[in-house]
Amino acid sequence: MLAPVGLSADPAALVAAAGAGDRRALARLITIVEDDRPGALEALSLADRSSRGASRMGITGAPGAGKSTITDGLISAIRRTGTDVAVLAVDPTSPFSGGAVLGDRVRMQDHVSDGGVFIRSMASRGHLGGLSAAAPKALTMLEAAGFPEIIVETVGVGQDEVEIAEAADTTVVVLNPGWGDGIQAAKAGILEIGDVFVVNKADRPGVRDTVADLQGMLAMDEQTRWTPPVLTTVAHAGEGIDELWGEVQRHRAYLIEEGLLQARRRARRRGELETALVAAFRRSARRVLAADDGDGVAALVESGEMDPWTAAELILSRERASSG
């Protein structure tokens, strides 16, 4: 649904309205910051200042593992406690993943009539770092709108998605029975990113081996006092979802008790600054290239007379010399 034409575009008014529970203002704000429209920076600055600090849970896993069904179950579990919840579902715009957008998201629409639930899909589109740049902005808006619980759902097939999982306080990794052996799991790096592991579709064969494999590998990591639990769910039947929500809360309590929550959030904000700075430099790069027509370095690269990397250094040094 498009925001009505009459809705004010004034960033301060929109942030105030979103904070007061106006969902259309919130949707509008996310679109503004996602597309980097006029007023985006002011809106982000205001929203960041008025943020009340949500709990952020990341859910990631391979396509088809059941992330959306689990998210759907978690929404219901959270709502039963009377708490509002927002979901940012990041769908890759990959040529091979159209299904997620078309299919799984439909189920969550059951919650559309519930004013305590806000669901936003975000495509990971465009070029370098587009996703990583936009998601933290949308999350800042959701926090400013006062949601105490935020779920970030990502398809765990690319570096972008891992980065977004890192934006969460607690990351839930969803697997299925028969997913590789323990050594492969270790090699693939999933042991490092998960705080809670879920073997979904636990009504299928092989679940016991997968759980045992994971537990064996996780027990070997003695770096922290938190050993990630391995749960089983049959998400489409609602089995195991309350237990999952309980483990997420237990992890959150652990972070607070150990004084780790603040450290995680400080590191996250520093990462957001680096991402924002890269985006700002990228805009500089595009502007420089667009203005290069007279200069001709790009033409030399296109014709093969200069290599792209030497040209980049040359443009950068000229840019610096001229911007003083």
Q: Taking CB under 8 A as the criterion, which residues in 240-269 touch a copy of itself?
A: 266, 269
Distances (CA, A) of 264 to 52, 259, 269: 16, 9, 9
**Which residues in the 115-174 window bind a copy of itself by CB under 8 A?**
124-132, 136-137, 140, 156-163, 173
Q: Which of 92, 177, 228, 229 binds a copy of itself (CB under 8 A)?
A: 92
Residue 228 near a copy of itself by CB under 8 A: no
CA angle centred on 136, ends 21 and 7, rounded to 5°: 35
Distances (CA, A) of 119 to 84, 89, 100, 167, 195: 11, 8, 15, 18, 24
Residue 176 near a copy of itself by CB under 8 A: no
Do 228 and 196 touch, CB atoms closer than 8 A?
A: yes
User: H helices of 258-296, where?
Assistant: 260-290
Residue 277 near a copy of itself by CB under 8 A: yes
Do 186 and 94 touch, CB atoms closer than 8 A?
A: no
Residue 281 near a copy of itself by CB under 8 A: yes
C-alpha–C-alpha distance, residues 201 and 66, integer Å: 8
In the complex, the smallest distance separating the C-beta of residue 314 from a copy of itself, rounded to whole angstroms, is: 10
Residue 204 near a copy of itself by CB under 8 A: no
Do 160 and 132 touch, CB atoms closer than 8 A?
A: yes
Residue 224 near a copy of itself by CB under 8 A: no
| Region near a copy of itself per CB under 8 A, out of 17-25, 58-66, 212-220, 233-241 | 58-66
Q: Which of 7, 234, 260, 276 binds a copy of itself (CB under 8 A)?
A: 276
Q: Which of 8, 21, 23, 45 binds a copy of itself (CB under 8 A)?
A: 45
Do 83 and 180 touch, CB atoms closer than 8 A?
A: no
How many CB atoms neighbour CB 155 within 10 A?
23
Pair of tokens at residue 158: 């690319």
Q: Which of 96, 113, 205, 225 binds a copy of itself (CB under 8 A)?
A: 96
Cβ distance to a copy of itself smaller for residue 57 or 90 = 90
Q: Which of 6, 81, 113, 320 binds a copy of itself (CB under 8 A)?
A: 320
Count residues near a copy of itself (CB under 8 A): 88
Residue 324 near a copy of itself by CB under 8 A: yes
Task: Fill in the per-residue mask, 16 to 35: x = in contact with a copy of itself (CB under 8 A), - = not in contact.
Answer: --------------------
Do 63 and 191 touch, CB atoms closer than 8 A?
A: no
Q: Which of 193, 242, 252, 260 binds a copy of itself (CB under 8 A)?
A: 193
Helix (H) or strand (E) holding 213: helix 207-219
